[in-house]
């Protein structure tokens, strides 16, 4: 089976760091840059950086992005070990969540269990129950931890549309970095998360300022959140499909091309055939870019809110 694409990207970055091409403190290529250079999806590139982050090879710093970790293995110069639980017989709550989030980022939500996290920490599963009640509490705590990584700025734009765009794009970035997040909770059972509520607060305030009544504002807040998570759920699915099959998106398209050709040539689907023919004539064909779909959907939703008010 071919090596998973994210592993190949991570291996190349390790090599560049080992030979000194990237030195401690240097910024590593962004997720978008890695995706473009390697010809992979954003989720795949993000997973490569997450793998390196979980190994302590790179660290993420506020306002600096992802950089090569200091040579002594600390997250900041002179900070000592990156493991808050190092030297103790029991992990701290912060360390527990750090390991659980890294496990979900790299291997998917299905890999997360009390036993699996305890194994990564080198402790008995019962040790974790000092910090969490059960797996549901673990998932909720993981979610709150990742929302806390990306707080909204103190200074907010004045316009209602600008504020909603800020909130929606902030949510999208959190989900891009942690693809499993979109699968943690259904709309009917929302998380009671202060970090997540901060995004809703920003959206609701903007919608109320736009003149909508509370019911309409809340419905639209739910719709906007569901739009973000609806796009984001494909990030995890894409990563699991590529890893499980060992087949890249491009290779998978190649396998279904004969079937698509038979369908488009059957005469039963003329509109689909017309669109496929047009896309094939495009330079580079069609790339399913989730970032582009997100921006398109967000613009259409906000145009609808503006026109319907």
> Domain check: are 171 and 137 in the same one?
no
* Cα–Cα distance for residue pair 204/213, rounded to 1 Å: 10
Instruction: Show the domain range for 98.
Output: 83-149
Task: Kindly state whether residue 92 falls inside one of the protein's structural domains.
Answer: yes
Q: Residue 42: inside a domain, yes or no? A: yes
- Give yes or no for a contact between 35 and 278, defined as CB atoms under 8 angstroms apart: no
56 and 167 together in one domain: no
Does any domain span residue 18?
yes
Q: Do both 2 and 46 map to the same domain? A: yes
**CATH code for the domain in which residue 118 is found:** 1.10.10.60
3-state secondary structure 158-185: CCHHHHHHHHHHHHHHHHHHCHHHHHCC
What does each of the 309 residues of the chain score in pLDDT, given as a tens digit? 456 788 889 889 998 888 888 888 888 888 878 888 888 877 788 888 888 887 778 887 655 568 888 865 444 433 333 343 433 457 889 999 989 998 888 888 888 999 999 988 888 889 999 999 999 899 999 999 999 887 888 899 999 999 999 999 999 999 988 989 988 876 667 777 888 899 999 999 999 999 999 999 999 999 999 999 999 988 877 666 655 555 556 666 778 888 888 888 899 999 999 998 898 887 767 777 888 999 999 999 999 998 876
Answer yes or no: do 175 and 299 share one domain.
yes
The structure tokens 């890893």 sit at 243
Looking at the structure, do residues 91 and 122 belong to the same domain, yes or no? Answer: yes
CA-closest candidate to residue 236, choices 289, 184, 192, 296: 184
Give yes or no: residues 74 and 99 share one domain: no
Tokens matching residue 169:
């794009």
Residue with tokens 């795949």, as numbered in its chain: 44
Q: Tokens standing for 109?
A: 């939500």
pLDDT of residue 247: 56
Query: In the listed set 64, 79, 94, which residue is the last one of a domain according to the structure?
Result: 79
H or E element: which one contains 58?
A: strand 58-61
Lookup: tokens for 133: 């009640």
Reference 126, options 81, 91, 166, 177; nearest CA is 91
**Residue 252: inside a domain:** yes
> Is there a contact between 291 and 173 (Cβ–Cβ < 8 Å)?
no
Residue 121 counted as domain residue: yes
96 and 171 in a single domain? The answer is no
Q: Are residues 165 and 138 in the same domain?
A: no
Residue at which a domain ends, from 37, 61, 79: 79
> Rg of the Cα trace of the chain?
22
Domain boundary among 47, 79, 111: 79
CATH number of the domain where residue 219 is located: 1.10.357.10
155: in domain: no
Domain count, the chain: 3
Are 66 and 58 within 8 A, CB to CB?
yes
Contact (CB, 8 A) for 28 and 67: yes
The predicted model scores a pTM of 0.69
Residue linked to tokens 């999208």: 172
Cβ(236)–Cβ(108) below 8 Å: yes
Residues 187 and 235 in one domain: yes
- Whether residues 106 and 12 fall in one domain: no
What was the pLDDT predicted at 303? 94
**Looking at residue 5, which CATH number applies to its domain?**
1.10.10.10
Q: How many CA atoms lie within 13 A of 196 on its CB side?
A: 23
Q: How far apart are CA 177 and CA 75, in angstroms?
A: 19
Helix (H, G, I), strand (E, B) or coil at 269: coil
Task: For residue 258, report the phi and psi dihedrals to the nearest 5 degrees.
Answer: -60, -40
In a domain, 154, yes or no: no
Residue 235 maps to a domain: yes
Q: Which residues pair with 59 in a beta bridge?
A: 67
In the chain, the largest separation of any two C-alpha atoms, in whole Å, equals 69
Q: Are residues 296 and 218 in the same domain?
A: yes
CA distance 226 to 80: 41
Q: Do residue 184 and residue 286 come from a single domain?
A: yes
């Amino acid at each position: 089976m071919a090596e998973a694409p994210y592993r190949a990207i991570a291996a190349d970055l390790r090599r560049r760091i080992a030979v000194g091409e990237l030195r401690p403190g240097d910024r590593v290529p962004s997720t978008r840059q890695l995706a473009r250079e390697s010809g992979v999806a954003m989720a795949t590139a993000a997973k490569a950086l997450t793998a390196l982050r979980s190994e302590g090879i790179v660290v993420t710093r506020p306002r600096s992005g992802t950089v090569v970790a200091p040579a002594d293995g600390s997250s900041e110069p002179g900070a000592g070990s990156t493991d808050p639980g190092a030297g103790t017989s029991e992990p701290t709550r912060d360390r527990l969540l750090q390991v659980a989030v890294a496990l979900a980022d790299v291997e998917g939500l299905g890999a997360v269990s009390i036993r699996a996290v305890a194994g990564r920490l080198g402790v008995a599963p019962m040790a974790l129950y000092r910090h969490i009640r059960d797996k549901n509490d673990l998932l909720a705590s993981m979610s709150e931890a990742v929302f806390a990584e990306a707080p909204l700025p103190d200074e907010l734009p004045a316009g209602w549309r600008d504020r909603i765009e800020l909130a929606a794009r902030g949510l999208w970035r959190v989900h891009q970095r942690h693809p499993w997040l979109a699968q943690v909770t259904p709309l009917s059972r929302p998380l009671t998360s202060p970090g997540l509520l901060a995004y809703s607060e920003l959206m609701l305030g903007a919608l109320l300022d736009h003149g909508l009544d509370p019911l309409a504002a809340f419905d639209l807040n739910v719709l906007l959140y569901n739009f973000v998570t609806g796009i984001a759920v494909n990030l995890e699915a894409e990563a699991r499909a590529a890893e499980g099959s060992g087949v890249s998106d491009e290779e998978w398209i190649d396998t279904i091309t004969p079937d698509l050709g038979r369908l488009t040539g059957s005469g039963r689907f003329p509109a689909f055939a017309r669109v496929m023919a047009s896309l094939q004539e495009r330079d580079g064909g069609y790339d399913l870019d989730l970032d582009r779909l997100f921006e398109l959907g967000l613009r259409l939703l906000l145009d609808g809110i503006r026109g319907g008010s």
